[in-house]
Amino acid sequence: MSSYGSKFKGLDLFVKIPTDLTEATTHGFILSISAVVFMVTLFFVEFSAFLTVDLSTKVAMDMNMGSQLRVNFNITIHDLHCDFVEVNLRDAIGTRVMNVTPNVEKWQLDSDGVRRMYQGRNRRHYEIDTEDHHPHIDVLHENGEHAIPLDTANFEAYTKEHEFTFVDFYAPWCIWCQRLAPVWEVFAEEIEKTGQPVVIAKVDCVAESALCARQKIQAFPTLRFFRHEEPVNQGDYRSDRTVQNLLQFVTRKLDLESQYKEWPDARKAHAVNWNTDHPGCLVSGFLLVNRVPGNFHIMAYSKNHNLNTAATNLSLTVNHLSFGIPLTDDQKGRLDKLDVTYHQTNPLDAKPFIVLEQHKAYHHYIKIVPTNYELGKRWRSRFSAYQLLSTDQVMEYNVAEVPQARFAYDISPMAVVVRKEDRKWYDFLTSLCGIIGGTFTVVGLIDGFFGEMFKGGRAF
C-alpha cells in the first residue's frame, strides 16, 4: 500500500517546500501586500464587468408578415375648432381615406388648452339644409336692406349699443354664403315683423379682413350671436340654414337670456360650468395603415363651409406618436433602462410645432425602423417595437390652399436586433483564476529578481 502511495505522490503538482527551508524577507512582505491589493482591485473590476449588461446589435431582414401597421397618436391642434378638424390617410399603393377610422376621438379645448367637451368618436360632417326658393338678393333689397352691413368703424359701437345682435360673417366668393344671402335677408325681415329685440347684421370678411381676424372667423359663413358686444355661450349657429330654424334659434336664445335676467345666479353658474368656444381641439386614437410608404394628415375641412385660409392655423403639439402595438408598462420599463439610442420609439412626444405666419404648416417625415428586443431568456423579455427617425420643416401654401399638418412615413425593410449579452459564470471564474494565477506568477518573478539582487545579506 505504501508503494502505491509513493507512486501517487510522484503525481503531486503542488510540491510543498519544508518550512525550515523558507525565509521571510522585507521585500517579500512588500510584494505580498502589493499582490493582495492588486488582486482585490482586479477582482472588483472584473466583478463589476460581470454584472454589467452589454448590448449587441445586428441588422436582419424584417420578417414581420403583417399587412398593416398601427399608428398611435394624441395631438393637440391649438387654433382649430373640432368642427373643422379632419384626419385623412393616403399611401403609395393608392389607398385614400377621408375622415378616417372610427377609432379617432375629438375633444374640444378651452382657452387654457384644457380638455372641455367630448366632441364624439370620428364625428363626421353632417349635411346642412339651405333654402333655395327665395327671390334673388337684389329683388329682396328693393324694399330696403334689412340685414345691417357692419364694418370696422361701427361694429364695436353697434353691437355694444344693441343688447342682441346676430351677425353673418361671410365672403362674397363663398358658395355657401351666396346661398345663405337671400335666406338671411328674409330672416332679417321676419325678425322685424315679430318685433324681437335682435338686430340682424352681416360683415363682408373680404372687405373687413382685420375685423374678421379679431373675431377669429375660420370658415364662411359663420353665424354668431352677440349680447352687448360679447359672443353668447354656444353663440355660433351650426344647424340648418332655413328661416324657420334661424327663428327658432333666436327664440331659444331670447328665452334663455330672459331666464338669466330673472335668475342672475343661473348666468353665473353657466359661466362657471361652460367656457366660451375656443378654436382648439385634441385628436386622439389610432390608425391601421398598410406597410408601405404613406402619410396621414390633419386638415381643416367642412361640407357646409368654405374655410378661411388666412385664419386656418395648424399649430400643434404632438402629445404622443408611436407605431405598432402599444408597449406594456413592463416593456417600457425595460427600454428605459437602456441607453437612449436603443429606444427612440416616440421622439416627437411633448414637442410643440407652432406656426406664426399665415399659409404655412409643418410637414414631418418619419423613417420607421422595426426593432426586435431580446433582453433576457424569458418570453416577456423578448418583444418588438418601432424606432423612429424624424425630420420636419415648415411648408408654405398658396393663398387659396388650406394648410395641412402632414406626417409622412416610410418603413425600413431591414430590422434591428438588440440583444442583451450576459457574461457566462464560467467566463467570470476563468478570468478570476487568471487574475490570481497571473498575479502570483508575476509577483514570483519579481520576488526572484529582487532575491538575486539582495543575495548575500544585502537587504533594505
User: For the chain, how big is the Rg over CA atoms in Å?
Assistant: 39
Say what the pLDDT of residue 236 is.
84
For residue 203, list its beta bridge partners.
169
Rounded CA-CA distance 282/316 in Å is 9
Say what the pLDDT of residue 138 is.
79
- Taken in order 385, 319, 81, 249, the sign of the CA dihedral is positive
For residue 199, list its beta bridge partners.
165
Read off the C-alpha cell for 39. 488582486
Say what the pLDDT of residue 450 is.
66
Q: Tell me which amino acid residue 60 is.
A: A
Give which of 127, 123, 126 is closest to 101, Cα–Cα.
Answer: 123
**312: exposed, middle or buried (C-beta count within 10 Å: 0-12, 13-18, 19+)?**
buried
Rounded CA-CA distance 238/445 in Å is 96
Say what the pLDDT of residue 115 is.
61
Say what the pLDDT of residue 459 is.
41
Q: Where are the beta strands (DSSP E) in 229-381?
A: 230-237, 281-290, 294-300, 306-307, 316-323, 351-353, 360-374
Cα angle 271-225-278, degrees, rounded to a multiple of 5: 55
State which H helix or E strand residue 200 sits in. Answer: strand 199-204
Residue extents of the structural domains in the chain: 19-52+424-453, 59-113+279-421, 137-273
Contacts of residue 327, defined as CB under 8 A and 6 or more positions apart, other chains included, come to 335, 345, 383, 385
The CATH code belonging to domain 137-273 is 3.40.30.10
Say what the pLDDT of residue 74 is.
94
Q: One digit per residue, pLDDT tens: the chain, 460 residues?
A: 556 556 666 666 556 666 666 666 676 777 788 878 888 888 888 888 777 777 788 888 887 767 899 999 999 999 888 888 889 999 999 888 887 766 788 887 766 666 655 555 445 556 788 888 788 887 888 888 899 999 999 999 999 999 999 999 999 999 999 999 999 999 999 999 988 899 999 999 999 999 999 998 989 999 999 988 888 866 689 889 999 999 999 998 888 777 656 555 544 554 544 444 556 888 998 999 999 999 999 998 888 889 898 888 999 999 999 999 998 888 888 888 887 777 889 999 999 999 988 899 999 999 999 999 988 778 778 899 999 999 999 999 998 899 999 999 999 999 999 888 777 777 778 888 888 888 878 877 777 776 666 555 444 3
Say what the pLDDT of residue 451 is.
64
Say what the pLDDT of residue 363 is.
97
Give which of 44, 91, 39 is closest to 287, Cα–Cα.
Answer: 91
Say what the pLDDT of residue 293 is.
95
Residue 339: count of CB within 10 angstroms of its CB: 7
End-to-end CA distance of the chain: 50
The 10 Å CB-count burial string (b at 16+, else e) for 50-62 is beeeeeeeeeeeb
Say what the pLDDT of residue 156 is.
93
Give which of 71, 82, 80 is closest to 105, Cα–Cα.
Answer: 82
Query: What is the four-CA torsion angle of 393, 398, 399, 403, rounded to 10 degrees?
Result: -40
Say what the pLDDT of residue 247 is.
93
Say what the pLDDT of residue 403 is.
92
Say what the pLDDT of residue 460 is.
38
